[in-house]
Amino acid sequence: MKLYAWVENEQLFTTEDKNLAPSNAIELEVESPDNVVYENGQIRLKTKEEKLAEEKERKLAELKNHTTSLLEQTDYIITKIAEAQLLGDTDKAERLKQKYAKQLQEREAIRQWNEQMKEAIRNAKTLDELRQIEIRYVKELQLLSLTSRTSKKRCKKHDC
């Protein structure tokens, strides 16, 4: 898209409408108005590295919000167990852990998925690669993956 950019009082302004731009505006070809930067007295376009870094930060924030919303659904379980432990009622804490074993396992799967997603985002080399990373937790697949890894660990530990 064509964009017209100019600076007034050390502040950057842009418009797509040439008729609204002052005569000192420069014409730029951009993907997004967000790609225009005013720095050190110069109007310039963001570099690929800057765009990649910004997109990584945006994806990491999206991941954090999504993971938080997933874990919040079972935070009450952690609170119950912590209260029992704080009061020294280890029997109750153990009963709660057994009662909510499935939910606790799912929380672990969510945390592992979160770490894998962080790594994938941080390791992305291009914007296209980064944009292909979909932040979506699939409960059944993650639990199967966690159960499979846990079973393998147990078998190695017990020489199965």
pTM recorded for the entire structure: 0.75
Same domain, 19 and 58: no
For 139, phi then psi, to 5°, come to -50, -50
Residues 6 or more apart in contact with residue 1 via CB below 8 angstroms: 16, 29, 30, 31
Contact 106, 77 (CB under 8 A): no
Report the pLDDT value the prediction gives residue 78, as an integer from 0 to 100. Answer: 97
Record the tokens describing residue 86, joined without a space: 């704080």
pLDDT score for 152: 43
Range of the domain at 66: 49-158
d(CA 47, CA 116): 27
Q: HSE (CB half, 13 Å, CA atoms) of 78?
A: 10
State whether 40 and 82 are in the same domain: no
One domain, residues 58 and 123: yes
* Residue 77 identity: I
| Domains: count for the chain | 2
For residue 151, count CB atoms less than 10 angstroms from its CB and return exposed for 0-12, middle for 13-18, buried for 19 or more: exposed
| In a shared domain, residues 66 and 130 | yes
Ranges under pLDDT 70 in the chain: 140-160
| Domain match, 154 and 99 both | yes
Q: Are residues 108 and 125 in the same domain?
A: yes
pLDDT of residue 139: 77
**Per-residue pLDDT at 143:** 53
Pair 63, 140 in one domain: yes
Specify whether 24 is located in the same domain as 77: no
* Residues pairing with 38 in the sheet: 43
**Do both 29 and 12 map to the same domain?**
yes
Element (H, E) at 29: strand 26-29
Q: Are residues 40 and 61 in the same domain?
A: no
**65 and 41 belong to one structural domain:** no
Neighbours of 4 (CB within 10 A): 19
Indicate if 61 and 98 belong to the same structural domain: yes
